[in-house]
Amino acid sequence: MSTPFIITKASGESETFSLEKLRHSLLKSGASPETTEDIIEELERDFYSGMRSRTLYKKAFSLLRRRYKAQAARYQLKKAIMELGPSGYPFENFVGEIFKAQGYTVEVGVILQGHCVRHEVDVVAENETERILVECKYRNTPGFKCDVKIPLYVHSRFQDIEKEWRKLPGNHHKKIQGWVATNARFSGDAIQYGECVGLQLLGWDYPQSRSLRKWIDEDRLYPLTALTTLSKSEKQRLLEKDYILASELVSSPHCLEILNLTARRKHQIQNEVRQLCGNGD
Amino acid sequence: MSTPFIITKASGESETFSLEKLRHSLLKSGASPETTEDIIEELERDFYSGMRSRTLYKKAFSLLRRRYKAQAARYQLKKAIMELGPSGYPFENFVGEIFKAQGYTVEVGVILQGHCVRHEVDVVAENETERILVECKYRNTPGFKCDVKIPLYVHSRFQDIEKEWRKLPGNHHKKIQGWVATNARFSGDAIQYGECVGLQLLGWDYPQSRSLRKWIDEDRLYPLTALTTLSKSEKQRLLEKDYILASELVSSPHCLEILNLTARRKHQIQNEVRQLCGNGD
């Protein structure tokens, strides 16, 4: 919008468009100066001479709403993860998905024979060179911290499984690793112990460089509970059918069939998924 | 009472004592045939010719009541342990006492440096040749089972402490051992894992040969909560002052001073302790 351009007013008259007027409107409605400039820039791409003033404003505010919605959805990520509960199973599926996205073959809820006893392992992620055993700690109450007892018991469990697994032919070349993944936080000594014995800890904000929050955000692996266009009961019905990622509602559109939606709502939901998971915003 | 003997009736008349009549009375009041014969045998020791019938019957039923009271107190042992709560501290003290009774030097609630992190160990029991680290799991709700996660984390904790402790001079000749002590039960795989890694488990009924219940009963290490002559609040006041065993109320009689008791009640309480912990019944 570097050059002045002509728009058509509601009355049918033509006039030079006032950039300042639009900017003022957007700022007044609560958009940050940065967001305002982004929206103006995006509008410019679609602008055509003689465009109706009303169409242009509508477009500007729709861009703003969409941006807010996507921002809100990301902001609500922590809450969305909490909504996976009350049981820990959807969270295990979710952790499975984030490993799948990295190219691992994933199994959830596997019984493995250890040297002393059999163990249930929440997620087993495997590729050509690695085998990762993940214990998931899902908490749907805020403020929970995984204390040191969790990495302590996971380490014993991991050692018991590794001892048995090393006996099997063909496993000596593979790296095997224990993980604890949680939507909560770890206590200081839990982190200290995990690092000391070589157990990988993945917490909401830990490790800083690649925390669960960052992992989800960077790979756009939003759970479907992050969507605002689905009701709570619709989310629960999808979770019960083992759907977990927002992106699945676009990549496997048949999964929405269980909800008996109108074409319009289906469209709305898939639009929100694209806004949330796409790279456009 | 192998020979007939003479007693004085209430009317003042003398008559030959009827053993059958007494036996019948005791059985009728609910004593088992075994207990009845025990009481008759005990009465015989104190019998004197011309003894009043009333005195003899009173004595017999007092013996029966005492026996019931002691039996009841033992029967109530599980409940008495539950009454140590709500926190786990009195139970830790109690476990400390049962090791003290075996000649160990005992410390409760000790922070120990491990190889990776510092750990709080509930009870450390030591003698010339052994060092025992006990994790206590106190539960005051019936039906709780210690699952496999408990021995798993205790084993890691124990290994972390042992690794650091072995470095210190003079420790190489000593045996160091991890224990889990609980007033609850262990799950099957908790027992299997404990046995496999050499962790000692002490549960309400485990191991059969020397369970917590048997240990208490055989060494008469009753907690003061097993006494029926103390009120609930009196028990709590004693526990708060770190008194824990019934026998302490006799061996350290000054501990009863905090309760401001009459001489008569003090006497009653100490009598119950002697009946419960002595070898006489």
Query: Furthest-apart CA pair in chain B: how many Å?
Result: 85
DSSP single-letter state for residue A230: S
Q: Is the pLDDT of residue A219 over 50?
A: yes
Residue of B112, B117, B150, B196 to mutate for A, most A C-beta atoms under 10 A = B117
Cβ burial of A114 (10 Å; 0-12, 13-18, 19+) is buried
From A117, A148, A196, residue closest to B192, measured CB to CB: A117
Residues on chain B touching A189 (C-beta within 8 angstroms): 117-118
Q: Would you state the pLDDT for residue A280?
A: 41
Whole-number pLDDT of residue B162 = 96
Of B149, B150, B197, the CB nearest to A116: B197
Q: For residue A274, give the nearest of A253, A257, A243, A258 by alpha carbon.
A: A253
Considering only CB atoms, B193 lies closest to which of A117, A149, A193, namely: A117
pLDDT in tens, B93-105: 999 999 999 999 9
A117 with B156: Cβ contact below 8 A = no
Angle at Cα B89 formed by Cα B86 and Cα B93, nearest 5°?
A: 130
Q: Choose the closest CB to B117 out of A116, A117, A193.
A: A193
- Alpha carbon distance A265, A234 (integer Å): 12
Top pLDDT among B35 and A223 is at: A223
Q: In which band, very low, low, confident or very high, does the pLDDT at B70 lie, cut at 50, 70 and 90?
A: low
Res. B73 pLDDT band, cuts 50 70 90: low
Q: Does the pLDDT value for residue B159 go beyond 90?
A: yes
A67-87 burial, b at 16+ Cβ within 10 Å, e below that, comes to bebbeebbebbeebbbbbbee
CA distances from residue A258 to A79, A91, A130, A262, B164 in whole angstroms, order as listed? 24, 21, 37, 12, 58
State the average pLDDT over residues A62-84.
Answer: 77
Mutation site, B112, B113, B115, B116, interface A, largest A CB count within 10 A: B116
Residue of A117, A152, A196 lying closest to B153 (CB–CB)? A152
Please state, in angstroms and rounded to a whole number, the distance separating the CA atoms of residues B21 and B29.
13
| CB spacing of B148 vs A189 below 8 angstroms | no
A194 touches A150 (CB < 8 A): no
CB A52 within 8 A of CB A6: no
Q: Using an 8 Å Cβ cutoff, are A115 and A160 in contact? A: yes
Cβ–Cβ below 8 Å for A148 and B193: no
Separation in Å, CA of B210 to nearest CA in chain A: 23
Most confident of the ranges A38-47, A268-277, B59-68, B272-281: A268-277
Q: How close A220 gets to chain B, by Cα (Å)?
A: 34
For residue B261, with 0-12 CB atoms within 10 Å meaning exposed, 13-18 middle and 19 or more buried, which class applies?
middle
Instruction: Taking residues A50-54, report their average pLDDT.
Output: 82
Which of A111, A112, A113, A117 is the best mutation test for B, with the most CBs of B within 10 A?
A117
B196 vs A116, A154, A189: nearest CB: A116
Which residues in B lie closer than 8 A to residue A178 (C-beta atoms)?
none
**Residues A107-165 pLDDT 10s:** 999 999 999 999 999 999 999 999 999 999 999 887 889 999 999 999 999 999 999 99
The one-character DSSP state at A245 is B
Stretch A54-68: mean pLDDT: 84
Q: Minimal Cα–Cα distance from B146 to chain A, Å?
A: 13
DSSP β-ladder status, A6-8 and A14-16: antiparallel
Q: What is the mean pLDDT of chain B?
A: 88
In chain B, residues with a C-beta closer than 8 Å to the C-beta of A121 are none
Q: Which residue does chain A place closest to B193, by CA atoms?
A: A116
Measured in angstroms, the CA of B121 and the nearest CA of chain A are apart by 13
- CA separation for the pair B57, A147 (Å, rounded): 63
CA nearest A163: which of B196, B195, B179, B201?
A: B196
How far is the C-alpha of B44 from the C-alpha of B141, rounded, in Å?
46
Amino acid at B142: P
Phi and psi (nearest 5°) for A7? Answer: -125, 165
| Tokens (6 digits) for A245 | 């990622």
For B156, nearest residue in chain A (alpha carbons): A152
DSSP chain B: --S--EEE-TTS-EEE--HHHHHHHHHHTT--HHHHHHHHHHHHHH--TT-BHHHHHHHHHHHHHHHHHHHHHHHTHHHHHHTT-SSSHHHHHHHHHHHHTTT-EEEEEEEEE-SSSEEEEEEEEE-SSEEEEEEEE---STT-EE-THHHHHHHHHHHHHHHHHHHSTT-TTSEEEEEEEESSEE-HHHHHHHHHHT-EEEBTTBSGGG-HHHHHHHHT--BGGG-SSS-HHHHHHHHHTT--BTTHHHHSGGGGGGG---HHHHHHHHHHHHHHHSS--
> In Å, what is the CA distance from A121 to each residue of A108, A116, B52?
8, 15, 76
Look up residue A107 and give its two tokens. 């199994």
Among B113, B148, B191, B197, the strongest candidate for a mutation testing the A interface, having the largest count of A CBs within 10 A, is B148
Alpha-carbon distances, residue B20 vs B26, B53, B235 (angstroms): 10, 14, 43
Instruction: Give A150's contacts in chain B (Cβ within 8 Å).
Output: 153
Residue A21 has pLDDT above 80, yes or no: yes
Chain A environment of B196 (Cβ under 8 Å) = 115-117
| Spatial CB neighbours of B103, under 8 Å, sequence gap ≥ 6 | B127
| Nearest residue in chain B measured CA to CA from A156 | B152
- Alpha-carbon span B149 to B254, nearest angstrom: 43
Contact A118 B156 (CB under 8 A): no
Peptide bond into B33 cis (omega under 30): no
Q: How far apart (Å, rounded) are the C-alpha atoms in residues A202 and B134?
A: 31
Give me the pLDDT at residue A72, please: 63
Query: Which of these ranges, A186-200, A252-266, B145-159, B266-280, has the smallest mean pLDDT?
Result: B266-280
Mean pLDDT calculated for residue range A220-229: 91
- Report the pLDDT value the prediction gives residue A73, as an integer from 0 to 100: 58
Structure tokens at B193: 């894992």
pLDDT of residue B237 exceeding 80: yes
Question: Number of A:B CB contacts under 8 A?
Answer: 50
Give me the mean pLDDT over the B253-266 stretch.
90
Q: Shortest CB distance from B148 goes to which of A117, A154, A193?
A: A117
- Chain B residues with CB within 8 Å of chain A CB: 115-119, 148-150, 152-157, 160, 189, 192-193, 196-197
